[in-house]
Structure 1
């Protein structure tokens, strides 16, 4: 599962790294250290009409285009990669395609111990940003006519590093896989666990469990954490 993540790299640097069209205006947002479901995050999408990549702010928690309302907007934060092409909520976005890449500098997971759960941050070992595989959808409010654009993160089986924390992890794409993921007809072969040796994790403060906390100290490694650090409220997902 992935229920919290960080985007601390400036939008311009994300755009340059992931091939976003340089002439486009970019969202003006601060660094985020604790992005939670129903909040906005930076997302990279392929525009087939202009044949270019765009960086936009979308809300986390997919609302299918056929939904009657947004009541479940915070529930579909993850989608199981093994069944993404079959599930009603996701298959249209998969095949259209409305796939996206969500850049991230780290994500959080909670490890169960004898006395409770301890939060950990997970990132690439070389410190460079990760590219999460995602799906996006547009939902039109029948009353106002306004559009809401949302996204979900794809998950796969956890690698050896992550397995002690959780049985699932987000799908992380290699840079060379981003183009086929965004545009190929059915790139399910790219939805695999990221190599454990290319990642690292470290314990962090229990402050990350509270959504209101969103500062750089959340990513600082801590030692001697008390057992039983609280985990965030569970978010429904499809895995």
Structure 2
């Protein structure tokens, strides 16, 4: 699964990579957590171009009676996304890109404390998670837009840490993910085939209140390093 990530790219870099026109006021975030608002890129209303949206991380299906008490789903398994009632409509019509610089996973057995690891692309460049989003509308006109990160089986590099990983999309697949038919989008939900690097970080990341660059530093608390190769938002 993917339950924490970092997004530290400058806004200009984000605009260039993802092709939207907005001038958002976004600061670096080193410990993005579920229920927070996150930046996501989707097809603009009307179908022309892309737009940046602020979505709440943790998908609430449009048919939920009460979004406040609904079970919010932060991840959607790629293997079942097209069939599960909670996800199938969003997968068919509302896919998005979730910008990131890296993400965290925890390694350890159930009896002892888990060691957090930070994972990024081998070259350190920003990337996009495959995401889906949903819109809940109340009878009084209120609405709430939420999202989930799509996951798949871990690749060989990440498997020693965790058996699942988020779907990481290469830039040449962005348009296909956003606009193609579900059958074609399904072909993109595969383990990342590029090179990644991982390293252990301090357990400071376990607490959502901690959110600074020190969270990405290699931890001296453990020797279990694995290096492998194969806040709120104000958008406008």
1:86 and 2:89 are equivalent in the alignment? no
- Which stretches of structure 1, 4 residues or longer, exceed 2 Å deviation after superposition? 71-75, 113-116, 223-227
Change (3 A) 1:74 1:203: farther
1:17 and 2:14 are equivalent in the alignment? no
How far apart, in 2, do the equivalents of 1:193 and 1:216 lie? 27
- Structure 2 counterpart of 1:2: 2
Instruction: Map 1:59-138; keep pairs closer than 5 Å.
Output: 59-71=56-68, 75-95=72-92, 97-112=93-108, 115-138=112-135
- Structure 2 counterpart of 1:233: none
Pairwise CA RMSD: 1.8
- Structure 2 counterpart of 1:174: 170
Q: How many pairs were matched up?
A: 221
Mean Cα deviation higher: 99-108 or 46-55: 46-55
- Structure 2 counterpart of 1:219: 216
TM-score (norm 1): 0.87
1:190 and 2:184 are equivalent in the alignment? no
Which 5+ residue runs of structure 1 have no aligned equivalent? 228-239
Deviation at 1:226, TM superposition (A): 8.9
Change (3 A) 1:172 1:140: same
CA contact (8 A) 1:43 1:103 kept: yes
- Structure 2 counterpart of 1:34: 31
Deviation at 1:183, TM superposition (A): 0.2
Deviation at 1:212, TM superposition (A): 0.6
CA contact (8 A) 1:65 1:137 kept: yes
Deviation track 1:18-73 (CA, whole Å, cap 9, x = no partner) reads: 122x3xx3331211110110001110001251511111211100011111111455
Q: Specify the SS of the correspondent of 1:190.
A: coil
Mean Cα deviation higher: 79-88 or 134-143: 134-143
Which 5+ residue runs of structure 2 have no aligned equivalent? 225-236
Mean Cα deviation higher: 173-182 or 25-34: 25-34
Deviation track 1:52-103 (CA, whole Å, cap 9, x = no partner) reads: 11112111000111111114556300000011110101111111x2000001
Q: Specify the SS of the correspondent of 2:204.
A: helix
How far apart, in 2, do the equivalents of 1:36 and 1:7 lie? 11
Change (3 A) 1:74 1:120: farther
CA contact (8 A) 1:38 1:74 kept: no
- Structure 2 counterpart of 1:206: 203
- Structure 1 counterpart of 2:234: none
CA contact (8 A) 2:64 2:70 kept: no
TM-score (norm 2): 0.88
How far apart, in 1, do the equivalents of 2:123 and 2:78 lie? 26
How far apart, in 1, do the equivalents of 2:117 and 2:71 lie? 23
